[in-house]
Amino acid sequence: MISLIRKVIIMICPFLMSILSVNGFATHQQTSYINNNNMRTININNCISLHAAKDADMTDEEREVAMEKALKAMTSFSNKYAENTGTYYCEDKSIPAVVIKGLAEHKVKLGKPLCPCRFYEDKEAEAKEGYWNCPCVPMRERHECHCMLFLTEDNDFAGKERNISFEEVKDKCGGFSD
């Protein structure tokens, strides 16, 4: 019973902290929660800045800075996730590069890394729902990646690499702009 409660706390705490910080309910600059049996500290200002990135009134320079930051973050996330799940990138590295760029664009526009390979009637509603936010539920539950970003080794398109550099992503997808 305690381990079930711990799992729920581990899943919910970061989500609640982001909601609380955005809505102005957090009163401390840092809040701690338990994650993987370790105490973690969240800087509330970092939570707020992640959500502020979806500001539609960005200048071109601000958008470029936000895109670079998001592209670096999504590249780093993808490399770590591929390693942790034992999945691989596509043999043609332009595929993961374009998907990572799409995740970064959604992170900047929507505040969440919504899967870029699907059609949505309402992207903002889908991003809030969370089902298709990377890693999406099918990926987490069954290692099924619609985007072909994370491939199991039995996939015919899987390469041998679990790492792509920020420079490779930038070069293969044509930089930061749309």
Residues designated catalytic: 117
Tell me the backbone φ, ψ of residue 163, rounded to 5 degrees.
-140, 135
d(CA 144, CA 172): 24
Strand 30-35 to 38-43 pairing: antiparallel
d(CA 113, CA 94): 19
Question: Which residues, 6+ apart, have CB-to-CB distance to 39 below 8 Å?
Answer: 32, 33
